[in-house]
Amino acid sequence: MVTCERCHRKFATYGALKQHYGNQHPNVKWTPELESKLTGEREVEAYRSNVSPKRGSNSKLIIAVVLILIVAGAAWYYVSTNSGSGTTVTGDPTLSICITDSTVLAEHIHPQLQIVVNGRPVTIPANVGMSAACMRPVHTHDETGEIHVESPVVYPYTLHDFFLVWGQPFDSTQVLQYKVDSGHALKMTVNGTPNSDFQNYVMHDGDQIVITYGPSS
C-alpha cells in the first residue's frame, strides 16, 4: 500500500496514487523518486504478465500428464485384474494363477467328487489348493467333496488339475496310494454313467463324480 502525503488516503499501487494526484492534487509535484517507484512497479507487472501464461501452460501440461498417468494406471489395473476374462487360454493356468477377492471370474462351477476305497468313503480335505499366500482356481473350502473352480479365464479344468493342487496321484492305474493290480480295479462314474476319461475328465458344474477302488471281482 502507498499513502497520499496530502490526504493520507491509501492506494494499492503507485499508478493509482499518480492518478489520484492528478485528479485531486494537481499542484502536487510528482517527484523523480515516485516516478522511479512507479517504473519499478510497472516492470514487475510486465514481468508477471510475461511469466504467468508460461506458468499456466506448464500447469496445464502437468495436469495433462497426471491425467494420462491416471488413465494408464487404471487401464493397467483393469487389464491385470481382468486378465483373460471371458477368453480361453491354451496353457494350464492351475498353478500359475492366484485368486483374490478382486478377481473378476470368467468361470465359476462346482462339481462334486466322491472317492470310495474298498467300500469306505475317503475324506477329501478342506482347503485343498488354498494357502495364506495363494488360492488356486481349483480348490475346496470344506470336507464335503465339493470342488470349487473359480477362474479369471475360461479353461477346461480336469480332475488332473484338482489332484495336482491336492498333491495326490490319479490316473487309470492309481488313486491316492491305491494302485490297480490283479485283485483290484479302479472305476469312475460321472452322473451315474461309467466314464473312462479318469484324470482327463473335464469338470462341469453340478457333476457328480465317483471314483471307486476295490476288488476286481
Alpha-carbon distance of 215 to 194, in angstroms, equals: 17
Determine contact, residues 149/111, Cβ cutoff 8 Å.
Answer: yes
Query: Could you tell me where the DSSP H helices lie in the chain?
Result: 14-24, 32-81, 159-166
Q: Return the bridge partners of 188, or none.
A: 211
Closest Cα partner for 100 from 125, 82, 127? 82
**Would you state the cell numbers that stand for residue 106, as one nine-digit string?**
470368467
| pTM of the complete model beyond 0.75 | no
Q: In Å, how far from its chain's centre is CA 122? A: 38
Mean pLDDT by 10 residues, the chain (217 residues): 71 75 72 76 68 59 79 54 48 88 93 97 96 95 97 95 97 97 96 97 98 93
3-state secondary structure of 203: coil
Interacting residues of 118 by C-beta distance below 8 A, sequence separation 6+? 213, 214, 215
Interacting residues of 60 by C-beta distance below 8 A, sequence separation 6+? none
Determine contact, residues 182/216, Cβ cutoff 8 Å.
Answer: yes
pLDDT at position 78, please?
45
Alpha-carbon distance of 92 to 155, in angstroms, equals: 8
